[in-house]
Amino acid sequence: MPTSRTSVPVPRERGAGSGAQRRQEIVAAAQRLIADKGFEGLRVREVADRVGINIATLHYHFPSKEALVTAVVQDIVGRLDRVPAGDVQPPPPREHLAGHLHHVLDQFERHREQFVVLNELYNRAIRDEALRRVLQASDTAWTDYLVPILRAGRDNGQLRADLDPVAAATLITGFFKSLLFHLGLTPQGARQAADELLRGLDSQETPR
């Protein structure tokens, strides 16, 4: 029985809660929490705490934990524009590829947290049908970006003549997906592996 109500409802903090903005805040906190503790360790209470709001308020914005998780997934996947907007003058395939690899590797070093969450997502997708479809679509887009480059490189002689573009795309995407699972890998080691991957695609006759 609430006999006394000592604390007054906090007036909406300025800069904090304009609905969508507040929701974004919550999603961001949830992402950080997932990066810290994994999906296993995601507690709505702690998300609320990190944002500095009451659990009920969180549930006001996200009716269920699942809704929150869905928002997190959408946010992360939405950020997954790994396919850069078409360069005006795309470089030759081999350089295009190298640029892409180093770009993603850069992202990995700079925004490791997001890769951790993404990793959690992929892990979850093994058992979650809906999530699997979402990520699979994103994977398809990624592959569809890579395959033409690989094919062009093979056809113009920069890459191996016997290159299987789809298989090579699988190797490339798999390389990034596995990054977090190389437990002792240094950034330098990762770059060396990426370079090795590139050399494996190269035509050996092509001077580099």
Partner DNA sequence: CCTTGTCCATCATCTGCTTGATGGATAGTC
Partner DNA sequence: GACTATCCATCAAGCAGATGATGGACAAGG
Among 36, 43, 74, 182, binds DNA (CB under 7 A): 43
- In the bound complex, what is the minimum distance in angstroms from residue 118's beta carbon to a second copy? 10
d(CA 126, CA 80): 19
Name the binder of 178 from a second copy, DNA, none, CB < 5-8 A by kind: a second copy
Is residue 207 involved in binding DNA (CB under 7 A)?
A: no
Q: How far is CA 107 from CA 78, 102, 122, in A?
A: 15, 9, 18
Compose the 46-85 pattern: x for residues touching DNA by CB under 7 A, - for all others.
Answer: ------xxxxxx-xxx-xxxx-------------------
C-alpha pair distances (Å), 194 with each of 57, 66, 117, 119, 199: 46, 37, 22, 19, 9
Residues 78/118, Cβ–Cβ less than 8 Å: no
Q: Provide the minimum distance between the beta carbon of 170 and a second copy in the complex, in angstroms, as a whole number.
A: 4
Residue 54 CB partners (closer than 8 Å, separation 6+): 48
State yes or no: residue 74 binds a second copy (CB under 8 A).
Answer: no
What is the per-residue binding string for a second copy in 123-142, x denoting contact by CB under 8 A?
xxxxx----x--xx--xx--
